Structure 1
Amino acid sequence: MSGILNWWDGVELWLSGLGFVAQTAIVMPVVLVLAYGAAVLLDGALGNGIQLLHRVRHDDEDAR
């Protein structure tokens, strides 16, 4: 774990030494990819949850 933390400290120092425009050009693609991945995962989870709720409601209506 200390190896990862040392690596991250080096990256952080390198990044903080860059100018604002360079920092933005490096950080924004990473943040956008992570946000897109989170959105895809949440969309899939919520979509499956909604389908499950529809199935449960439909089964309840058939039982009446």
Structure 2
Amino acid sequence: MGRFLSWWDGVELWLSGLPFIAQTAVVMPVVLALAYGTAVVLDGALGNGIRLLHRARHSEEDVE
């Protein structure tokens, strides 16, 4: 863990030393990829949850 934290400190120092435009060019693809991945996972989870609720609701209607 200490090796990773030392590496991360070096990355932070390198990134903070870059000009703003370069920082943006380095950080934005990473942030956009993380946001896209999070949106895909949440969309899938929500879609499956809604599908399960519809299935449960329809099975309750069939019983009555």
What range describes the TM-score normalised by the shorter chain of this pair?
Answer: over 0.9
Q: How does 1:1-64 map to 2 (within 5 A)?
A: 1-64=1-64
**Identical-residue share of aligned pairs (%):** 75
The CA distance in 2 between the partners of 1:4 and 1:43, in whole Å, is 32
Unaligned runs of 5+ in 2: none
Report the count of equivalent residues: 64
Runs of 5+ unmatched residues, structure 1: none
SS in 1 for 2:10: helix
User: What amino acid sits opposite 1:39 in the alignment?
Assistant: A
The TM-score normalised by the length of structure 1 is 0.99
Q: CA offset at residue 11 of structure 1? A: 0.2
Once the two structures are superposed, what CA deviation does each residue of 1:41-60 show, in whole Å capped at 9, x if it has no partner?
Answer: 00000000000000000000
Moved over 2 A (4+): none
